Amino acid sequence: MRTQVAIIGAGPAGLLLAHLLHRGGVDAVVIETRSQEYVAARIRAGILESSSVDLLESVGLGERLRAEGHEHRGIYLQLPGERHHLDFVDLAGRSVWVYGQTEVQKDLVAAGTAQVFYEASQVELHSLQDRPYVTFTDSSGAAQRLDADVIAGCDGSFGPSRAAATPGERYERVYPYSWLGILADVAPSTDELIYAWHPGGFALHSMRSETVSRLYLQVPNGTDPADWPDDRIWAELATRLGHGQDGWKLTPGPVTDKSVLPMRSYVQTPMRRGRLFLAGDAAHIVPPTGAKGLNLAVADVALLSRALVALLIDGDARLADSYSDDALRRVWRCTHFSWWMTTMLHASGDPFDAQLQLSQLRWVTSSEAGATGLAENYAGLPIGF
């Protein structure tokens, strides 16, 4: 087979890139190891920045998002005995949208613009400097070879593209705590997300819809979810989120999913080797505290699709040549913001750290300059920043 762009991975980065290339008149084929059902059901992020919403809308993917998603003006920051609202619209002129990554994924599949080989195995990248091609075994067991002008590595942190793109620099920070996340069939107890600092550990109240809540607790690395029966989780969430404070109540409900997520920052540079370009989690991982993972993937493929259309339709290599530097500017901004939110909100066990965190949180919740910095980064900078 032959195509212009061979895309490895059918997560949000890979499918959105295929959609954007299709609109730009460039052919692409996507190769994915998992089944379509598995990819669609994976529980992931839930917050879209305004620039991600604008981009999805501008390419015909905004209809269900606008109808079923929920626009939030800001977030709450919770400290023991205090809750503060940060209004991003007042502070930075931008809002965010609650719309699950699973929903974005469904909209991309429904658009039908990507030709995808699901359930591929033995996916290998070859000849990256010159005439690249990908070999794999398709779902029927047949050996396939896909020749392309360019390969886009959108295969997340465990795919083969990241390794194929080295040598380069790798930057990493592993955090000494994880998140225990639950999905619950209960109406959210809050209208906007609550990020809570607590001496016993961070907690977050997020949501997916009017009837589904998503909540997280900071737990030690290596935590076994089996040690956290539902009652223990709800009791700890109630304590950390401020149940009873000023009459606020956390309503528990049936837990439908429970998992532990490690927290890591990772950036690999450059985001290109020869004719292989990396996008999304294949090139970088952020801890979830700043809600940036999905938005960074969207921003990467917005730049990459533009660069590949210029390269493959107009023969102009300038944007392709600057892609890695252009994308990394935003990657490092989001990497810093996610690290900053993470270290400001999680208990480290060190009393000096705790005092610095409280001082920082007081500044962010009482100074317009402090609040605006958080708002501008959380609600997201324009694509191309």
Which residues form the catalytic set? 72, 195, 288, 292, 378
Q: Which is nearer to ligand APR, 28 or 371 (CB)?
A: 28
Q: Give the per-residue contact string, 11-50, with ligand APR (x = CB under 6 A; - = no).
A: xxxx----------------xxxx----x----xx-----
Given 9, 11, 14, 46, the residue binding ligand PHB (CB under 6 A)? 46
Alpha helices, DSSP H, located in the chain: 12-23, 36-41, 50-58, 63-68, 88-92, 101-111, 160-164, 230-241, 293-313, 318-345, 351-366, 368-379
Q: Which stretch binds ligand PHB (CB under 6 A): 39-47, 55-63, 143-151, 315-323?
A: 39-47
Task: List the single partner that 186 binds among ligand PHB, ligand APR, none, CB under 5 to 8 Å by kind.
Answer: none
Q: Per CB under 6 A, does 291 bind ligand PHB?
A: yes
- Residues from 316 through 335 that contact ligand PHB (CB under 6 A): none
Q: Which stretch binds ligand PHB (CB under 6 A): 3-11, 43-51, 265-273, 362-370?
A: 43-51
Q: Give me the residue label for tokens 């819809």.
A: 209
Q: Which stretch binds ligand PHB (CB under 6 A): 127-135, 235-243, 287-295, 343-351?
A: 287-295
Q: Is residue 177 a contact partner of residue 221, using CB atoms and an 8 Å limit?
A: yes
Given 47, 108, 294, 334, the residue binding ligand PHB (CB under 6 A)? 47
State the SS3 of 60-114.
Answer: CCCHHHHHHCEEECEEEEEECCEEEEEEHHHHHCCCEEECCHHHHHHHHHHHCCC
Given 49, 107, 155, 192, the residue binding ligand APR (CB under 6 A)? 155
Given 21, 294, 311, 320, the residue binding ligand APR (CB under 6 A)? 294
Q: Is residue 234 a contact partner of residue 186, using CB atoms and an 8 Å limit?
A: no
Q: What's the CA gap between 275 and 83, in Å, rounded?
A: 50
Let me know if 264 is exposed, middle or buried by CB neighbors in 10 A (0-12, 13-18, 19+).
Answer: middle
- Residues from 179 through 218 that contact ligand PHB (CB under 6 A): 193, 206, 214
Q: Per CB under 6 A, does 289 bind ligand PHB?
A: yes
Sign of CA pseudo-dihedral 334, 269, 5, 141: negative
Residues contacting 233, CB < 8 A, separation 6+: 180, 182, 215, 217, 255, 258
Q: Give me the residue label for tokens 């993470």.
A: 342
Task: List the single partner that 297 binds among ligand PHB, ligand APR, none, CB under 5 to 8 Å by kind.
Answer: ligand APR
Return the structure tokens found at 67.
């109808």
Q: What's the CA gap between 276 and 165, in Å, rounded?
A: 7
Maximum distance among all Cα pairs of the chain, rounded to whole angstroms: 65
Q: Give the per-residue contact string, 159-198, with ligand APR (x = CB under 6 A; - = no).
A: xx--------------------------------------
List residues binding ligand PHB (CB under 6 A).
45-47, 193, 206, 214, 288-289, 291
Report the interface residues with ligand APR, using CB under 6 A.
Answer: 8-14, 31-34, 39, 44-45, 101, 123, 154-156, 158-160, 280-281, 293-294, 297
